[in-house]
Amino acid sequence: MTIYILSVAVAFLFLLLVLELVRRQKLKEQYSLLWILFSAVLFIVSFNVSLIEWIAARLGVKYAPAVLFLFGLLFCFAFILHLTIVVTRLTAQVLRLTQELTILKEREALHGQND
């Protein structure tokens, strides 16, 4: 039962941390929504011990609180995938901007020689 209490406390503190980071503008709202959702789900699941035990029984997990860690791990994988997609998109944008800047500088250099 102690692991469930700890899980509720961690979820609550994590939610407060995310909200504080958004308030201080250290975390963008688009990313905070995922973390708030994760905290809320962890909070709800931690309060509902029978739900965790039911999920653990369906998955064949002997130690029901391990399901909380499974949810956390799966969320981390999903979030890392999301961040990888964002980084890939930003990398493509930087490459395109670099190419456009090079083209503009070349045009400027050509116009400078014609004057």
Which is more confidently placed, 92 or 76?
Answer: 92
Higher pLDDT, 91 or 7: 91
As a three-state string, the secondary structure of the chain is: CHHHHHHHHHHHHHHHHHHHHHHCCCCCHHHHHHHHHHHHHHHHHHHCHHHHHHHHHHHCCCCCCHHHHHHHHHHHHHHHHHHHHHHHHHHHHHHHHHHHHHHHHHHHHHHHHHC
Using 50, 70 and 90 to split pLDDT, how confident is the model at 88? very high
pTM: 0.66
For range 82-97, the mean pLDDT: 94
